[in-house]
Every structure is written in C-alpha cells, then in structure tokens.
Amino acid sequence: MQPSPRAYVPFVSVDTMMQLVHRIGLRQMMRDLAACIEEDFLRWTSFDKTPRVAAHSDVGVIELMPVADDALYAFKYVNGHPKNMKDGLQTVAAFGLLADMNTGYPVLLTEMTLLTAIRTAAMSALAARHLARPESRTMAIVGNGAQAEFQATAFQAVCGIDTVRLYDIDPAATAKAMRNLAHSGLTVHACHTAEEAVEGTDIVTTCTADKQFATILTDNLVGSGQHLNAVGGDCPGKTELHQDILRRSEIFVEYAPQTRIEGEIQQLDPDHPVTELWQVVSGLAPGRSNARQITLFDSVGFAIEDFSALRYIKEQVQSAGIEEKLDLLADPEDPRDLFGMLQRAAPGLAA
Ligand code: NAD
C-alpha cells in the first residue's frame, strides 16, 4: 500500500547519501557543513541540550544523542565498537531523525554512518580554523581507519592543509588511506611511527579506536604551537593522549558536561579549566592566544553537530528531489479512526 501523500517521511538511504555527496562534491559539503555548524554554534543558547545517553558493554557503547530548538527536534543513534573492524563491521554506525516540534512528526530519517564521518571531519576542521595557527599547512593523522580520509579532506577544504602524514599500527590501514587520497591534490606521506608522522606538523588528528586508556601521543611528541584534534577518545575509559599533554594545552570542548564524562579531560580534575568552542566562535572567549601555545580540541561529538548535518541534508535532498518516501507514520484521514484504517486494510477489503 502507498503511504498517504501527507504522511510519508523523507528517507535518505546510504545509496542516496552517496549520490548527494557526489552531486555536491565532498569538499564543498565539508565547507557547507562547517558553515552550518558555525551558524548553530552562534545560537548555542537557543538549543535544549543534554549529554548523550549511553549504554555501555565490555566491547562497546550505543548512544542516543538528542537536541532541540523551537522548531526542530533531532536525535542520532550511534555505536562505538572498536572490535567490530576485525569482524568486518564498522566501528561506528549511525542513523538519525529530524522532527517538527509543532506536530511531533518526523520530517527526515537518514543514514548517518557516512554523515557522521563527514560532520565529524567538518567539525574538526572548523575547530582548527578557530584554534590552529592560520599559516598551518601540514597535518598528521594517527589512526587511518574509516574517519581518516574524511579528516584529510575537511582540513584541505576548510583550513587549506596541503600535506598529510599518516600513521596506523596496521600498515594496511595506512596503505588504504594512501590509495584513497592519491588524487586528492594533497601531498601524502606514509610514516612508520607516530613520532615520524607528528614531528614538525602544524596540526595532529588522533582518530584511533581502542576501548582503553591508550597513549597514542606522549608528551615529548608534541611541540609548541601545534594544534591537536583528539577525535578517538570519546567514551569513559577510552582516551588517546597522555595526561601531561593535557596539562600543557589550552583545552577547547564542545559541551563541557558531556566531554567531562567522555573526552580526554576525564583524566583531569572535574574543575580543570576548559573553554566551550561556541564561545570562541561567538567572540565571547579567546581561542589561541599566541603562536607557541598548544591548543587541544577534545572532540567527542555533540548533538548540535548532528542537528546541523540533518537540517543541511534535509534541504539538499529536497532541492535535489532524490529523497525516498518512507511509509513510517500511520496517518488516517480522520485522526481518530486509526482502528478503522486498520480494518479497511484487511485482505480482500478495499482500503
Ligand atoms: P576504525 O576502527 O575504522 O579505525 C581506527 C584505526 O585506529 C584502525 O585502523 C586501527 O588500526 C588504528 N589504531 C588503533 N590503535 C592505534 C594506535 N595505538 N596507533 C595508531 N593507530 C591505531 O575507527 P573509525 O571509524 O576511524 O573511528 C576512529 C575513532 O574516532 C573511534 O574511536 C571512534 O569512536 C571515534 N569517533 C569520534 C567521533 C567524534 O565526534 N569525536 C566521531 C566518529 C568517530
């Protein structure tokens, strides 16, 4: 049975998302998403915010990330299972929904595995545009899994990075990223150690996956003036940076109540000073104060970034006319006749 025309929910499958990215161009999409997130960070106080709701197991986490403003409600369902990769599954998989605050009806349901990689990279690059030294051109990426090439592309598109140095404990991951970035216009180097990758670069992204307090970077690897973009430490008990690095850095976060639970700063005292990035974007707090300072974006991923991505995708699929129509809502013509709608759908009866 066809959904009634007023009740269908626009749906974006993985295939449709890939079509959309190719229509817009990944670099353009990174710039667009960075601009949407920036716009929403500028109206930070108009959102109803809460730390995400997490269900932990020994091997991973499943999270719901809700947020709303006066007009729209959004949530993302996302997991983090570092052991998945060995079983041929994604470490991070996601889908998300946008709804109308006025009716409560969903107005978009979309895949968000690709979209999370894109919005995370756009967010990282936006933070770096506000915090890294403006002349930054080189970056290291430690952890060359699913997120890595998205990170490289966003930093190229948004910050003007032209050289990327890659390192992963698994050389096959680095070889994959080298192949995928071969025609990107970036100069890309494969490195044999984290130290070789990081030394002398302007920006360092860490995006490894391990459900433990790991030490991907030690203090001696980080030089003055570097900007650190720590993406992989995003869960209680899952961090990437040695504490000494945190103590030397000026730390910027998305939403402090969530990052204190999930970010690198879970290793520090609960009152260690941090700045929420929206305050820097809004001109309410300083970002980098000098060229020698080490700045750290302690990224965990916050619901407003998904809200920005969802509203952007809704506009784009609508204008491209490529959304699918999902029969998700029971919506009888007489709203009180839900039962009658079911009865009329009985086999052999005209609906
Ligand atoms: P992935 O499993 O595809 O890749 C992780 C890579 O890290 C693998 O190639 C692995 O070999 C490598 N690695 C593990 N330990 C390492 C080490 N000590 N040194 C160097 N490399 C190492 O995972 P992914 O999808 O790329 O995600 C990466 C991380 O980013 C995950 O921890 C995920 O939870 C996190 N993440 C954060 C955000 C955010 O908003 N902050 C968003 C998405 C994903």
pLDDT digits (tens, 9 = 90+) for 222-261: 999 999 999 999 999 999 999 999 999 999 999 999 999 9
DSSP string, 37-74: HHHHHTTGGGSB--PPEEEE-SS-EEEEEEEE-SSEEE
Give the mutation target among 62, 126, 208 for probing the ligand 1 site: most ligand atoms within 8 A of CB. Answer: 208
Looking at residue 282, its pLDDT comes to 98
Helix (H), strand (E) at residue 165: strand 163-167
What pLDDT sits at residue 205?
Answer: 98
Q: What angle do CA 51, 123, 265 make, to 5 degrees?
A: 50
173 Cβ inside 6 Å of ligand 1 = yes
Q: How far is the CA of 61 from the centre of ligand 1 (A)?
A: 14
Tell me whether residue 170 is one of the annotated catalytic residues. Answer: no
Integer Cα distance of 338 and 99 in angstroms: 21
CB 204 within 8 A of CB 142: yes
CA dist 222 and 197 (Å) reads 11
Six-digit token string for 306: 């998904």
Q: Which of 180, 195, 207 to mutate to test the pocket of ligand 1 (most atoms within 8 A of CB)?
A: 207
Q: Is 143 in the pocket of ligand 1 (CB under 6 A)?
A: yes
Please count the helices (runs of H) and the strands (runs of E) in the chain: 11, 17
Instruction: Select the more confidently predicted residue: 348 or 264.
Output: 264
C-alpha atoms less than 13 angstroms from C-alpha of 263 in its C-beta half-sphere: 29
Q: Is the pTM of this model over 0.85?
A: yes
Percent of the chain with pLDDT over 70: 97
- Segment 284-323, tens digit of pLDDT: 999 999 999 999 999 999 999 999 999 999 999 999 999 9
Helices (H), the chain: 14-24, 26-41, 113-131, 148-154, 171-180, 194-198, 243-248, 256-262, 277-281, 303-320, 338-344
Which protein residue has the closest C-alpha to ligand 1 atom 18?
216
The atom number, within ligand 1, closest to the CA of 148 reads 26
Q: Which residue's C-alpha comes closest to atom 30 of ligand 1?
A: 232
d(CA 252, CA 293): 13
83 Cα–ligand 1 center, Å:
11
Identified catalytic residue from 32, 40, 234, 306: 234
Q: Ligand 1, from 147, 211, 262: best to mutate by most atoms within 8 Å of Cβ?
A: 147
Domains of the chain plus CATH, in order, are 5-114+304-344 (3.30.1780.10), 124-302 (3.40.50.720)
β-strand 324-326 against 138-142: which pairing, if any?
unpaired
